[in-house]
Structure 1
Amino acid sequence: MLVRAIGKYKWLLTAALVTMLVEVGAALWQPSFMKDILSTMASLSLSTSGKVGKVSGYGIALIAIAVVGLIGSILNTIAAAKLAQAVSADLRENTFRKIQTFSYADIERFKSENLVVRMTNDINQIQMLLMMTFQILIRVPLLFVGSFVLSIITMPQLWWVIVVMVVLIVIVTGLSMRAMGPHFGAFQKLMDKINAIAKDNLRGARVVKSFVQERNQEAKFDKESDDLLGHNLTVGYIFAAMIPAFTIISQLAIFVAILFISFGITQSASFAQDQLGGIMSFIQYMMQIMFAIIMGGMMSMFASRGFVSIGRIRQVLEATPSMSFPDTPTETLSGDVTFEHVSFSYPDDEKPTLKDVSFELKSGQQVGIVGATGAGKSTLAQLIPRLFDPSEGTVKVGGKDLKTLSRKTLNSTVSIVLQKAILFSGTIAGNLKQGNSAATKDDMDRAAQIAQAAEFINRLPNRYDAEVVERANNFSGGQKQRLSITRGVIKQPKVLILDDSTSALDARSEKLVQEAFDKELKNTTTIIIAQKISSVVHADTILVMDQGRLVAQGTHNELVETSDVYRHIYDTQKAQGDDADE
């Protein structure tokens, strides 16, 4: 996944690697000049003026190498940053596109708040990992190997000091990584929980304040936040112990090296002249080795979070959607709807929500679906636009199995207006064009008239260009439902499903909507899911659901005479003053 994404930017990748090699080469080259400078100063065969000339030349070379290394470092940072930004942007876009292919069941499986964290926090972690990789992680082994080899070449008799130092630092790093690993795995899970709590609290702010639940919400948030803090502190404590441990090991190694050289100097003047310059270079290489291991350990700790995030993004990108659409030509279908022995169960439910449901609706019919809460009305309706696939049986529209239709064919044929009116930030026109991207002003006017939304839209100064704020909080519940109905009607579908989507309308507005449907949507199969019998009393046929089964079908008058379930609902609502207009 990540290799393919990086491969798209070969020139940035090449630039990052080349500039890194320049930076590492400069860092490895510098200590050798220090050896030459000290050897020149200790030389007995050169005059003072000769020594000054050679040392000046070495100094100029050192400055030149430092400048080259600095330029390489700057260019490496720029290339690595551009590469990390480009790859993370592609991953974010690909993840979002992949999520758009998910069905409701897939969204429920991953959880919406979890997907938001993956597209934001996890992508940011991957971006940081890429930056570190092309700035530090690849540089570390190059610097380590180069310094290790050059240090042994410089003072081969002290090879064992380097080996002991490296072994001790690797042991400390390994133990620290082992201790911190589980905490990094817990970070993202806790971020998911914190995001979910914050999202629910902000979305349900009115409920929280109405029931004075601020303290309870704070307690829930504090618990998860404290858990995250605990993991972060544990990592911090381990990290705080690592640096002093590395420093002690490296300083002891330097002490042993200097001690060994000092013994040689006291015993032989020629040894002092040969090794005096080498000891400075050797110490610098030792420090570079220590730096490489320390940086490798530190970056590995942070990289472990990045690898966790890579795994989480890979889960999304490699997930196989539970629902797929064939790439077939777009068809024009009739509004016939057929259910053939359809059963359906939600993933985590033991009992089926729908059980062996069969019926046939003719194009242009107005159909009502009634039943008690939990009878399966909404689930049945959501199978028609293929928001879910049935567990058993077949759903057909226009005589065609939904599984054989392309997404474009199905979307142009079926439109659903959900009970919960969801509008997006932007403008009214932007929301309506989600139903029909090519909708003209005349199309909007017609749909708004049918949905009785024109009444308040025409009062707005900007009409269809009026702003829709977050969660459409600048509109009432009834206005949001009418805008949702407008969006569903605007593409003139063959099948229109209203899932209790007039519940927030007053009796007058609901009656006007029904009259407009009768007049303007004569060729559209209109399926109305309702709690109130009065909303479907004039339907051509009414489906009665009870505990997931279709228990009766017919007109209002027929069902009052033949269906105990329907008659009970009707009598109850009539007794409560909800008189059906017969």
Structure 2
Amino acid sequence: MIKIFKQLGRHWAACIAVVALLFVQAYCDLSLPDYTSKIVDIGIQQGGIESPVPETVRDTTLQALELLMSEQDAALAEQWYSAPDADGVRTLSHDATAAMSELENAFATPDIVLYMAAAKNAATAAGTADAVTPTAYDLDAVATQFVAMSQAPGAREMLQSQLAAALASLDDSVAGSLSSQAMLLVALEYEAQGIAHDVQMGYLLRTGGRMLALTLLMVAVAIAVGFIASRVSAAIGRDLRRDVFRTVVGYSNAEIEKFSTASLITRTTNDIQQVQFVCVILLRMVAYAPILGIGGILHVAGGNTGLTWIIFVAVAALLLLIAVLMNVAMPKFKQMQTLVDRLNLVSREILTGIMPIRAFSREAFEEKRFDRANTDLMRTQLFTNRTMVAMMPFMTLIMNGTSLLIVWFGGKAMDMGTMQVGEMIAFITYTMQIVMSFLMLSMVAVMLPRAGVAADRIDEVVTTHATIHDPASPKSLPENGTEGVVAFNDVSFRYPGSEEDALEHISFTARPGETTAIIGSTGCGKSTLLNLIPRFYDATAGSVTIGGVDVRELTQAQLHDCLGYVPQKGVLFSGTIDSNLKFGGDHITDADVQKAAEIAQAAEFISAKAEGFASPIAQGGSNVSGGQKQRLSIARAIAKHPQIYLFDDSFSALDYKTDVALRRALKAETGSATVIIVAQRISTVLHANQIIVLDEGRIVGKGTHAQLMESCPEYREIARSQLSQKELNLQKEDA
């Protein structure tokens, strides 16, 4: 996981911007339940009335309310209300916001008393002892009575003492239920003025407008977060692919064999996709879940619902469920990437070896082998997917159980008058947000182990340094005419992990203008010897020099610029014939390509194609024959005009006639260059200036064909196995 966060740290500015936007999104998300509660409790139940202080009030009603206030409170009310207009209505000053708290305290009890008096008047008029909802007529009648009472001396003091005694006798639960009647008095007053509907609709529109604005802001922020997170994850994927590719391109054969091609492909594709996907999740969900969850807990804890314990029970159940699932699923996620590697390896082997498989009728066997690898991966994926699927019913059970507890205990609280419907709705919403936050974290917690394994595998590739690298202080090749001299000085080589040397004490010199051939039985180390020159491997002991300079003291670019290498197996790249022949560098001209094709005996089959040098080459050169592929590989090396030619058994796919013609044309072209040929056929090396005979990694013969026929039994054995006695006699006469 640290490696994933390290990748995110490279884009710290974007991550900070995402976190800041997530705080804005969380603020919007957490504000919406409050507005929902206000719409239900205030907008619907209270008619849009937020305060016991009416915005407009008739003069008679205000006088009745002032009679129920202390003299100080009555003076405060008179201070902030305007004089009556033509309809006898007084308006609260816009500057009263600063004194609103004092005004609410002053109006609360008088509002309750006046409303209860109006309700009693309505019940008396109806001739019933049951509670009756008062009307504007009842309010006017009671207000008129109170205004008349205000004319009597000592009326205010008498009412104040009666109110104090009555309020002292009420317990807290009854007082809480009476507090809502203060808003009912204001609603009744607005009804008497004929503005009740307008007040309610105005409040609903204002609150709904704020909710809509917050929702639109939240949507915009969510889109911005998704956009930034996607760009960051895409950039991380791009950077990882670039880093992995640059690292792998610099690997020697030892590192390639250590990881295997199939594993490197998996790490470059599947593993990076896992990390890229998790980076998006981390930015969009993991960063958002704690903000939303903590914000929800703070909102719930700030209320007086008394139901906070339900959240702690739900969170504890979620944490227990997550812990169990993590312990069950974690080991399987660690196995999954290894199984993907195995499936890719089997698939690659089958697809690249389809012709031998058919030739040996092994289709059924290979299908079973693929099926085993595929089934192992399927079973692991099924287990992890079933684990994640099993999590959802338990999560749903916890969420629904939490909602049931809230409704049960919230209903009791509403019955007692300590909670309103809107408050319970908001509490349920906040609880679901908290639970969903933990749900998001649990889902990510299941994904993270696999991404962590993928990140470790990618990091293993990137941090594995190539054993072959450029020197700190490189030297340059001399320009005194010796830059083409290749010398092996007591060279020994052992493959990594091997217990025996593949080459032992190899010493010889290949000079410009000469052809040095290396021949020997299969597996004797011919290709290994040739691979030490371009530093595909480095010598274990001794040194390989070019122009007297150890190849390990040259930069790889400088070393490879002077070499023309033709591998044992011709390798072509998708493109055209022309692009493949110009693979050696931008300095190669069309004339160079034409001449190289003629020397490599490839011009005839190229010209036979409708598009000539512009003819397409499929991936791996699958649309040309083995001989054509080999000739194009030879032409590619010739077009580069190197100082040293390296042919690793490059003529084996050619017929004898083409082989002879090619070597004759090549000798004329490479008169001043050093040519080193690895060959299996005697006919290829007969006219070489120097023939090196290898046997089990040691030089057992060195000289021309004639000299070796006299002095080297191993060479004679090879020659006699390939040439008839008549051909040998002819060769002897030519010598």
Under a length normalisation based on structure 1, what TM-score does the superposition of the two structures give?
A: 0.94
Give the deviation of 1:90 after TM superposition: 2.2
**C-alpha contact 1:341 1:358 (8 A) present in aligned 2:** yes
Q: Match for residue 291 of structure 1?
A: 436
**Alignment CA distance shift 1:462-1:299 (3 Å):** same
Q: Match for residue 89 of structure 1?
A: 238
Give the deviation of 1:16 after TM superposition: 3.1
Q: Match for residue 544 of structure 1?
A: 693
Secondary structure, counterpart of 2:306 in structure 1: helix
* Aligned partner letter, 1:188: Q
1:34 is aligned, of 11, 36, 43, to 36
Q: Distance in 2 between matches of 1:147 and 1:20?
A: 14
Give the deviation of 1:52 after TM superposition: 4.8
**C-alpha contact 1:448 1:486 (8 A) present in aligned 2:** yes
The answer to whether residue 570 in structure 2 is matched with residue 568 in structure 1 is no
Q: Match for residue 255 of structure 2?
A: 106
Q: Distance in 1 between matches of 2:517 and 2:561?
A: 22
Under a length normalisation based on structure 2, what TM-score does the superposition of the two structures give?
A: 0.75
Give the deviation of 1:322 after TM superposition: 0.9
Q: Distance in 1 between matches of 2:347 and 2:315?
A: 46
Q: Distance in 2 between matches of 1:349 and 1:116?
A: 26
1:211 is aligned, of 360, 372, 390, to 360
1:394 is aligned, of 539, 543, 546, to 543
Q: Distance in 1 between matches of 2:314 and 2:457?
A: 37
* Aligned partner letter, 1:247: T
* Aligned partner letter, 2:302: I
Give the deviation of 1:17 after TM superposition: 3.1
- Larger deviation: 296-305 or 567-576? 567-576
**Alignment CA distance shift 1:162-1:272 (3 Å):** closer
**C-alpha contact 1:151 1:281 (8 A) present in aligned 2:** no
The answer to whether residue 328 in structure 2 is matched with residue 179 in structure 1 is yes
Give the deviation of 1:461 after TM superposition: 2.7
Q: Match for residue 22 of structure 1?
A: 24
Percent identity over paired residues: 32
The answer to whether residue 202 in structure 2 is matched with residue 200 in structure 1 is no
* Aligned partner letter, 1:30: L
1:312 is aligned, of 457, 477, 481, to 457
Q: Match for residue 315 of structure 2?
A: 166
**C-alpha contact 1:5 1:90 (8 A) present in aligned 2:** no
Matches within 5 A, 1:400-411: 400-411=549-560
Tell me, which stretches of 5 or more residues in structure 1 are unaligned?
none
Give the deviation of 1:436 after TM superposition: 2.8
Q: Match for residue 520 of structure 1?
A: 669
Q: Match for residue 704 of structure 2?
A: 555
Matches within 5 A, 1:487-506: 487-506=636-655
Q: Deviations over 1:528-577 (max 9, x none)?
A: 11111111011111101001111111111111111111111112222599
**C-alpha contact 2:226 2:284 (8 A) present in aligned 1:** yes
Secondary structure, counterpart of 2:677 in structure 1: strand
Give the deviation of 1:222 after TM superposition: 0.9
**C-alpha contact 2:4 2:275 (8 A) present in aligned 1:** no
The answer to whether residue 506 in structure 2 is matched with residue 357 in structure 1 is yes
Matches within 5 A, 1:372-451: 372-451=521-600
Tell me, which stretches of 5 or more residues in structure 2 are unaligned?
47-179, 188-195
Matches within 5 A, 1:49-128: 49=197, 50-128=199-277
**C-alpha contact 1:426 1:469 (8 A) present in aligned 2:** yes
Q: Deviations over 1:424-471 (max 9, x none)?
A: 110111111222332001111222222122222222232221110122
Q: Distance in 1 between matches of 2:232 and 2:727?
A: 65
**C-alpha contact 1:385 1:415 (8 A) present in aligned 2:** no
Q: Distance in 2 between matches of 1:526 and 1:363?
A: 7
**Alignment CA distance shift 1:382-1:120 (3 Å):** same
Q: Deviations over 1:223-252 (max 9, x none)?
A: 111111111111122112211111222222
Largest Rg, 1 or 2 = 2
**Alignment CA distance shift 1:76-1:272 (3 Å):** closer
* Aligned partner letter, 2:486: V
Q: Match for residue 626 of structure 2?
A: 477
**C-alpha contact 2:4 2:452 (8 A) present in aligned 1:** no
Q: Match for residue 530 of structure 1?
A: 679
- Larger deviation: 477-486 or 429-438? 429-438
Give the deviation of 1:306 after TM superposition: 2.0
Give the deviation of 1:156 after TM superposition: 5.9
Give the deviation of 1:293 after TM superposition: 0.8
* Aligned partner letter, 1:109: K
Q: Match for residue 471 of structure 2?
A: 326
**C-alpha contact 1:382 1:388 (8 A) present in aligned 2:** yes
Give the deviation of 1:350 after TM superposition: 2.4
Aligned-pair Cα RMSD in Å:
2.1
Secondary structure, counterpart of 2:488 in structure 1: strand
Q: Distance in 2 between matches of 1:132 and 1:357?
A: 58
Secondary structure, counterpart of 1:157 in structure 2: coil
